[in-house]
A and B are shown apart, each in its own frame.
Chain A
Amino acid sequence: MAEEADMKNRLKVLRAERNWSQAELAGRLDVSRQAVNAIETGKYDPSLPLAFRIGRLFERPIEEIFDDEHHD
């Protein structure tokens, strides 16, 4: 788990908009609830395949969900 993750994400907001629990989102993404929590709290940056799955689930491009703080 990348503790020094500089990536911010809107996963919690998007999940709340749909009134989903972490377990609900975890089930839809086929990951553990701990994984959802780790991504939401910025303790872990998801792999590209998982980021694409998240993007497809919320029907948004990846860059709308994940924001790299260090980009120019």
Chain B
Amino acid sequence: MTSIMTESGVDAGEGWGAARADAKVVRSRKRRLTLGLTAAAVLAGIPFIDGFVDGFRGVPRHPTPDWIVDVLLLPVLLLAAVVSWRNWREMDEVQRALAVQVWAVIGCAGLVSSVFLEVLGKYVALGEVSHMAWFLSAAIGMVFYFYRRVRA
């Protein structure tokens, strides 16, 4: 077995690269699992906190004012921002290029679908057009992402 030293002085013998890539995948999976569990805990915890406040005050459960619900969404948005930032730092340039393309597709789909659905909504009962456009553009972005990943 040949022993090759990298520029940083690390022994880079055979299988060094594969072991490094495997370790990276394991680290990435652990991080994703932790973040997924945290996200689930935050989302599941919001209604619990909501009911807990009423229980603590000893008053019957009542609908939460909108501003409290909005404030409770802040940790969710913060978590999404942290996850996105950490993922971006972990990505290589090919993955970053794909991420930028996915965001561009979502943006374009949102731009077109919001106008299209608004016009269509005049003739067909569509419900909440802005929500529909949001979900449609997100779905188109996801389809684009998985199509590119499968092709790669």
CA distance in complex: A31, B118 (Å)? 43
B21: CB under 8 A from chain A? yes
With a cutoff of 8 Å between Cβ atoms, the chain A residues found around residue B26 in the complex are: none
Is there an interface contact between A28 and B101, defined as CB atoms closer than 8 Å?
no
CA distance in complex: A28, B17 (Å)? 5
With a cutoff of 8 Å between Cβ atoms, the chain B residues found around residue A34 in the complex are: 94-95, 149, 152
Q: Chain B's interface: helix, strand, loop or mixed, by majority?
A: helix
B20: CB under 8 A from chain A? yes
Is there an interface contact between A44 and B97, defined as CB atoms closer than 8 Å?
yes
CA distance in complex: A32, B87 (Å)? 13
Q: Chain A's interface: helix, strand, loop or mixed, by majority?
A: helix
Is there an interface contact between A30 and B16, defined as CB atoms closer than 8 Å?
no
Distance in Å: Cβ of A47 to nearest Cβ of chain B: 5
With a cutoff of 8 Å between Cβ atoms, the chain A residues found around residue B20 in the complex are: 27-28, 30
B19: CB under 8 A from chain A? yes
How many chain B residues touch A (Cβ–Cβ < 8 Å)? 23
Q: State which size class the interface on A falls in.
A: 20 to 34
Is there an interface contact between A35 and B93, defined as CB atoms closer than 8 Å?
yes
A8-45 residues at the B interface, CB under 8 angstroms? 20-21, 23-35, 37-39, 43-44
Is there an interface contact between B92 and A35, defined as CB atoms closer than 8 Å?
yes
CA distance in complex: A25, B14 (Å)? 11
Q: Interface residues, chain B, CB within 8 Å of chain A? A: 7, 12, 15-22, 24, 91-95, 97-98, 101, 148-149, 151-152
